[in-house]
């Protein structure tokens, strides 16, 4: 009995020390991770703003794919919107920001975070990947599967079909959201 109590106390001590070390590590790294996330988000917003003046961010709760909206102004007129979007890729949730004109056409897209497979789904980070979506959403349908692409673009996303579909569906939902807004706030 004493032997079991001794081992239990040793195990309890190890767990307590490990917990304290993990809490300390979290206290040190959490603010750094938060700052890096904010910097990435701000860079993404700047990349998609297209030179328009960005308004205040508004949280969106009535659409599962849209997390926030920022109105883009050209002088006093609404020129479009930046939307925070989320989709479900192969590696889990991915977040994007995209700008749209008031007709729902995608102007620019920036991938902010994801956990996609290196070499496959991570292709979405490559320069030119998001170009396949730009200019779609109003008169032209947002590509949500590879069959909607020309053969060269379809080959470029080969191996990352789940990622491509997730991005396409999130962007399509954003386009529908902007169309429902109809240029209003």
Sign of the dihedral defined by the CA atoms of residues 45, 50, 55, 61, in that order: negative
pLDDT tens sequence for the chain (185 residues)? 788 888 899 999 999 999 999 999 988 888 887 787 777 666 667 778 888 888 888 999 999 999 999 999 988 888 899 999 998 776 678 889 999 999 999 999 988 876 555 555 455 666 777 888 889 888 888 888 877 877 777 766 666 677 788 888 999 999 999 999 875 54
Residue 28 has which token pair? 């040190």
The secondary structure element, H or E, covering residue 29 is: helix 2-48
Domain extents for the chain? 49-181
């Amino acid at each position: 009995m004493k032997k079991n109590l001794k081992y239990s106390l040793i195990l309890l001590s190890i767990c307590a020390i490990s917990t304290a070390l993990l809490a300390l590590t979290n206290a040190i790294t959490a603010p750094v991770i938060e700052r890096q996330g904010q910097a990435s988000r701000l860079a993404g917003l700047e990349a998609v703003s297209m030179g328009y003046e960005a308004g205040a961010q508004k949280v969106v709760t009535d659409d599962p794919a849209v997390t926030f909206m920022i109105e883009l102004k050209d002088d006093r007129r609404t020129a479009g919107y930046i939307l925070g979007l989320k989709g479900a890729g192969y590696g889990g949730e991915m977040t994007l920001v995209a700008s749209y004109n008031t007709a729902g056409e995608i102007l620019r897209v920036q991938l902010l975070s994801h956990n996609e497979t290196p070499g496959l789904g991570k292709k979405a980070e490559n320069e030119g990947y998001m170009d396949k979506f730009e200019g779609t959403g109003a008169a032209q349908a947002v590509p949500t599967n590879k069959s909607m692409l020309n053969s060269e673009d379809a080959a470029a996303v080969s191996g990352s079909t789940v990622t491509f579909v997730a991005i396409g569906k999130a962007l399509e939902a954003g386009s529908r959201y902007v169309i429902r807004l109809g240029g209003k706030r």
